[in-house]
Amino acid sequence: MSTTAEEGKQQKAFGWAATDQSGTLSPFNFSRRENGDEDVTLKILYCGVCHSDLHVLKNEWGFTSYPVVPGHEIVGVATKVGKNVTKFRVGDRVGVGVLVGSCKTCECCQQDLENYCPQIIFTFNSYNPDGTKTYGGYSDMIVVDQRYVLRFPDNLPLDAGAPLLCAGITVYSSMKYYGMTEAGKHLGVAGLGGLGHVAVKIAKAFGLKVTVISSSLDKESEAINRLGADSFLLSSDPAKMKSAIGSMDYILDTVSAAHPLLPLLSVLKVNGKLVTVGLPNKPLELPVFPLVFGRKLVGGSDVGGMKETQEMLDFCAKHNIAADIELIRIDEINTAMERLAKSDVRYRFVIDVGNSLSQ
Amino acid sequence: MTGLSEEVRPNKAFGWAAIDTSGVLSPFKFSTRGTGEKDVAFKVLYCGICHSDLHMIKNDWGTSIYPLVPGHEVVGEVTEVGSKVQKLKVGDRVGVGCMVGSCHSCDNCTNNLENYCPEMIFTYGAKYYDGTVTYGGYSNTMVVDEHFVVGIPENLPLDAAAPLLCAGITVYSPLRFYGLDKPGLHVGVVGLGGLGHLAVKFAKAMGTKVTVISTSPSKQKEALENLGADSFLVSREQDQLRAAIGTFDGIVDTVSAQHPLLPLLGLLKSHGKLVVLGIPEKPLELPAFPLIQGRKLLGGSMIGGMKETQEMIDFAAEHGIKADTEVIAMDYVNAAMDRLLKGDVKYRFVIDIGNTLKSIS
A87 burial level (CB within 10 Å; 0-12, 13-18, 19+):
middle
Q: What is the pLDDT of residue B8?
A: 66
Q: What is the pLDDT of residue B6?
A: 39
C-alpha–C-alpha distance, residues A95 and A153, integer Å: 10
Same domain, A267 and A160: no
Q: Does the structure show a pLDDT above 90 at B360?
A: no
CB contact under 8 A, B279 and A283: no
Same domain, A193 and A294: yes
Q: What is the pLDDT of residue B130?
A: 86
Q: Does the structure show a pLDDT above 60 at B117?
A: yes
Q: Does the structure show a pLDDT above 50 at B24?
A: yes
- Name every chain A residue with its beta carbon within 8 A of the beta carbon of B302: 292-293, 295
Same domain, A243 and A330: no
In a mutagenesis test of the B interface, which of A55, A288, A289, A293 is the best target, namely the one with the most B β-carbons within 10 Å?
A288
CA distance B135 to chain A (A): 22
Same domain, A162 and A172: no
CATH of the domain at A266: 3.40.50.720
Q: Is residue A74 part of a domain?
A: yes
Q: Does the structure show a pLDDT above 80 at A205?
A: yes
Q: pLDDT tens digits for A149-195?
A: 999 999 999 999 999 999 999 999 999 999 999 999 999 999 999 99
Nearest to A291 among B292, B293, B299 (CB): B299
CB contact under 8 A, A292 and B301: yes
Q: What is the pLDDT of residue A6?
A: 46
CB contact under 8 A, A177 and B295: yes
Look at the pTM and tell me if it is higher than 0.80: yes
In a mutagenesis test of the A interface, which of B111, B295, B303 is the best target, namely the one with the most A β-carbons within 10 Å?
B295
Q: Is residue A49 part of a domain?
A: yes
Per-residue pLDDT band at A282 (split at 50, 70, 90) = confident
Q: Does the structure show a pLDDT above 50 at A273?
A: yes
Per-residue pLDDT band at B361 (split at 50, 70, 90) = low
Q: What is the pLDDT of residue B4?
A: 43
Q: Does the structure show a pLDDT above 70 at B165?
A: yes
Q: Which of A285, A300, A315 is the last residue of a domain?
A: A300
Q: Is the dihedral of CA A218, A221, A227, A232 positive or negative?
A: positive
CB contact under 8 A, A288 and B284: yes
Q: Is residue A1 part of a domain?
A: no
CB contact under 8 A, A295 and B271: no
Q: What is the pLDDT of residue B276?
A: 97
How many Cα atoms sit within 13 Å of B161 on the Cβ side? 29
C-alpha–C-alpha distance, residues B323 and B164, integer Å: 7
C-alpha–C-alpha distance, residues A312 and A176, integer Å: 10
Same domain, A117 and A25: yes
The number of domains in chain A is 2
CB contact under 8 A, A286 and B283: yes
CA distance B46 to chain A (A): 27
Helix (H, G, I), strand (E, B) or coil at A320: coil
Q: Is residue A4 part of a domain?
A: no
In a mutagenesis test of the B interface, which of A108, A261, A286, A303 is the best target, namely the one with the most B β-carbons within 10 Å?
A286
Evaluate whether B260 touches B235 at the Cβ level (below 8 Å): no
C-alpha–C-alpha distance, residues B245 and B268, integer Å: 7
> B335 CB contacts (<8 Å, ≥6 apart)?
none
Q: Does the structure show a pLDDT above 80 at A8?
A: no
C-alpha–C-alpha distance, residues A168 and A37, integer Å: 30
C-alpha–C-alpha distance, residues A215 and A53, integer Å: 24
Q: Is residue A316 part of a domain?
A: no
- Name every chain A residue with its beta carbon within 8 A of the beta carbon of B289: 279
ipTM: 0.90
CA distance B258 to chain A (A): 11
Per-residue pLDDT band at A1 (split at 50, 70, 90) = very low
Average pLDDT over residues B275-291: 90
Q: Is residue A314 part of a domain?
A: no
Same domain, A113 and A207: no
Average pLDDT over residues A321-335: 98
Q: pLDDT tens digits for B260-273?
A: 999 999 999 999 99
Q: What is the pLDDT of residue A296?
A: 97
Same domain, A217 and A293: yes
- A·B CB contacts under 8 A: 106
Average pLDDT over residues B40-68: 95
Would you list the DSSP string of B150-197? Answer: EE--TTS-HHHHGGGGTHHHHHHHHHHHTT--STT-EEEEE--SHHHH
Same domain, A61 and A121: yes
Q: What is the pLDDT of residue A7?
A: 54
CA distance B327 to chain A (A): 29
Nearest to B292 among A277, A291, A294 (CB): A277
Q: Is residue A196 part of a domain?
A: yes
| Helices A194-205, A167-177: inter-axial angle, 10-degree rounding | 50
Question: Distance from CA of residue B32 to its chain's centroid?
Answer: 23
- Name every chain B residue with its beta carbon within 8 A of the beta carbon of A288: 276, 278-280, 283-284, 300
Name the residue range of residue A78's domain: 10-166+323-356
CB contact under 8 A, B293 and A300: yes
Q: Does the structure show a pLDDT above 80 at B1?
A: no
C-alpha–C-alpha distance, residues A154 and B215, integer Å: 58
Evaluate whether A148 touches A142 at the Cβ level (below 8 Å): no
pLDDT above 90: percentage of residues in chain B? 90
Nearest to B292 among A293, A296, A302 (CB): A302
Q: What is the pLDDT of residue B2?
A: 44
Q: pLDDT tens digits for B226-259?
A: 999 999 999 999 999 999 999 999 999 999 888 9
Nearest CA in chain B to A113: B270
Q: pLDDT tens digits for B309-354?
A: 999 999 999 999 999 999 999 999 999 999 999 989 999 999 999 9
Q: Looking at the complex, does the CB of residue A266 fall below 8 Å from at least one CB of chain B?
A: no
CB contact under 8 A, B299 and A298: yes
How many Cα atoms sit within 13 Å of A202 on the Cβ side? 31
Per-residue pLDDT band at A141 (split at 50, 70, 90) = very high
Domains in chain B with CATH codes: 11-166+322-356 (3.90.180.10), 167-300 (3.40.50.720)
Nearest to B295 among A116, A291, A292 (CB): A116
Same domain, A74 and A144: yes
CATH of the domain at A82: 3.90.180.10
CB contact under 8 A, B296 and A286: no
Q: What is the pLDDT of residue B61?
A: 86
Same domain, A226 and A248: yes
Same domain, A146 and A184: no
Nearest to B301 among A116, A287, A295 (CB): A295
Q: Looking at the complex, does the CB of residue A116 fall below 8 Å from at least one CB of chain B?
A: yes
C-alpha–C-alpha distance, residues B102 and B86, integer Å: 19
Same domain, A39 and A89: yes
